[in-house]
Amino acid sequence: MIFPEKYNLIRKLARDFAKNELTAEILDEVEDTGIFPVEIQKKMAKAGLYGIKVPEKYGGQGSDHLAYAIAIEEIARASAVGSLYANSPNSLGGMPILIAGTEEQKLKYLKPMVEGEIVIPFGLTEPNGGSDSRDIRTTAVEDGDYFILNGRKTFITMAPFADYSVIYANVGSSSSKSGVTAFIVDMKLPGVSIGKEEEKLGLIGCATSDIILEDVRVHKDEILGEIGSGFKDAMKVLDVGRLGVAAQSVGVAQACLDEAIKYAKERKSFGKYIYEHQAIAFMIADMATKLKAAKELVYDAAITKDNGGNSTMASSMAKMYASEVCNEIAAKSLQIHGGYGFVRGFKIERLYRDARVFTIYEGTTQVQQIVISRQIFGK
C-alpha cells in the first residue's frame, strides 16, 4: 500500500525511536528484571507516541487510526512489550474516556495519561467470564452520591502499577449487559487491592494481575457515560483495541521474518547458505506473502475506521488473521533457526513467546470468528 508522506514520516519517527531506545541491551535487561524502564516510557510520551490519535486539546497529536496502526507496528517490530505501553493511551487506556467521558473527565485524565504521568488499565474481563465479556458479575449498588463496587477483574494488564482503572460493573442486581456501567476507580481507594502478579510466558516487563474490589465507594462523578451504556461503549473500545493487537501482530511478524532472512543468509549447511536450499527459500516466501496480506488487512481496518465504515468487522478480520499469521511466522522462523531458536540469546526465542498471546487477548481467534460471522449474517 502506498501512503501519503505524513504516514511515512510517522513510520520513520516510530522506527527511529525504536532503533535508538529499544536496543538489544535494554530488552535483554527487561527480560532479566521483568521491568520496563520508566525513562523509556517517558521518552515515548515525549515523542508523541502515547497520544497519536488523542485530540490535541487533550494533549495528543490528533492524528488518525492509520497513523496509530503504523506507529504501533513499528514499535512492536522492535519490542512487543514496548508496544503495549505505546498502545494503552491510544487504545484500552484512553479510549473508554475519549468515547464516553465528560469534558471534565477528558481534561482530568487524558492529558496526564498522554504525558506518561498516570496509567489507567481496562477492567472488563472477569474470572468466570473469560471471552464472554457480557458475563459481568462485579456489582455497583447506589448509595446516595456514591456507588458501592464489589467484584474481581482478571488478567488486567498494568494493574499492579495503575493509578486508576476503568471498571465495568452491573448496576444494582442486574445480571445482564443492560446494567453494565463504566466507572473510573482510583486505585488508592479503600477496598481496592491487586492479586498476585502473573508469571507470563511472554510480554515480560508489563505486569498483569487481578483487581479486587471490596465495598469500594466510587462517586457518581466518576461514572463514564450513561448508566447501562457500559457494554456498548466497551465494544467500541475493543474495535480500536483489536486494531492495535493486529498492528502489534504484523510488527512482531515482521521482526520474525527479519530474523529468519538474516539467519538464512548467515547459516550454512551441506556446503551452502540455508536460503539456497529450496525448502527454506519457499518457507520464507510463504511467510513474506502472508505477512503482506496481513498488513493490508490492518491498514484497511484503520482506513475503514477513519472513514466511518464497519470497523467492527474490519478490525476483527485484521486481528484474527494478523495474529494467526504472526504465530505461524514466529513458529517457522524458529524452525529455520533450528536448535539455536530454542535457546535464550537469539531474538526469535523472545519473539516466539511474545507472539503467542495475540490470538488470545482482546478476544480469541474463535471470538473474532463469532463477531465476523454475526456481521456477515446480520445477527
Residue 327 and residue 335 in contact, taking contact as beta carbons nearer than 8 Å: no
* Torsional class of 363: left (φ above 0), alpha (ψ -120 to 50), beta (otherwise): left
Q: Which residues make Cβ contacts (< 8 Å) with residue 165, sequence separation at least 6?
A: 120, 121, 122, 123, 153, 156, 159, 184, 185, 187, 211
What is the reported pLDDT for 177? 64
What percentage of the chain has pLDDT greater than the value 70? Answer: 99
Confidence at 175, pLDDT banded by 50, 70, 90: low
HEC string of 201-259 equals CCCCCCCEEEEEEEEEEEEHHHEECCCCCHHHHHHHHHHHHHHHHHHHHHHHHHHHHHH
Residue 281 and residue 336 in contact, taking contact as beta carbons nearer than 8 Å: no
Phi, psi dihedrals of residue 22, rounded to the nearest 5°: -100, 65
Indicate the burial class of 127 (C-beta count within 10 angstroms; 0-12, 13-18, 19 or more): middle
Protein fold of 231-377: Butyryl-CoA Dehydrogenase, subunit A; domain 3 (1.20.140)
Bridge partners (DSSP) of residue 31 are none
CATH class (in words) of the domain with range 5-114 = mainly alpha
pLDDT in tens, 287-308: 999 999 999 999 999 999 999 9
Indicate the burial class of 300 (C-beta count within 10 angstroms; 0-12, 13-18, 19 or more): middle
What is the reported pLDDT for 145? 97
Taking the CA of residue 301 as centre, how many other CA atoms within 13 Å lie in the half-sphere pointing to its CB? 30
Of all helices (H) and strands (E), which one includes residue 184? strand 180-186
Separation of CA 265 from chain center: 33
* Torsional class of 334: left (φ above 0), alpha (ψ -120 to 50), beta (otherwise): alpha
pLDDT in tens, 154-174: 999 999 999 999 999 999 765
Residue 53 and residue 90 in contact, taking contact as beta carbons nearer than 8 Å: yes
Which CATH code for domain 122-228? 2.40.110.10
Please give the Cα distance from 131 to 152 (Å, whole number): 15
Residue 130 has pLDDT above 90, yes or no: no
Residue 379 has pLDDT above 80, yes or no: no
Of all helices (H) and strands (E), which one includes residue 4? none
pLDDT in tens, 223-271: 999 999 999 999 999 999 999 999 999 999 999 999 999 999 999 999 9
Residue 215 and residue 118 in contact, taking contact as beta carbons nearer than 8 Å: no
DSSP assignment letter at 139: E
Grid cell locating 50: 502515547
DSSP assignment letter at 196: P
The mean pLDDT value for 5-31 works out to 97
Catalytic residue among 21, 126, 328, 362: 362
Distances in Å between the Cα of 49 and the Cα atoms of 81, 231, 375 are 14, 28, 32
What is the reported pLDDT for 135? 83
Grid cell locating 83: 508496544
Please give the Cα distance from 357 to 323 (Å, whole number): 9
The mean pLDDT value for 335-360 works out to 96
Residue 129 has pLDDT above 90, yes or no: no
So where are the chain's domains?
Answer: 5-114, 122-228, 231-377
pLDDT in tens, 81-126: 999 999 999 999 999 999 999 999 999 999 999 999 999 999 999 9
Q: Please report, to the nearest 10 degrees, the dihedral formed by the alpha carbons of residues 40, 89, 176, 156 taken in order.
A: 0
Strand pairing report for 208-219 and 180-186:
unpaired
Of all helices (H) and strands (E), which one includes residue 166? strand 164-171
What is the reported pLDDT for 176? 60
Is 362 part of the annotated catalytic residue set? Answer: yes
Indicate the burial class of 32 (C-beta count within 10 angstroms; 0-12, 13-18, 19 or more): exposed
**What would the DSSP string read from start to end of 253-305?**
HHHHHHHHHHHHHH-EETTEEGGGSHHHHHHHHHHHHHHHHHHHHHHHHHHHH
Please give the Cα distance from 119 to 289 (Å, whole number): 38
What is the reported pLDDT for 1? 81
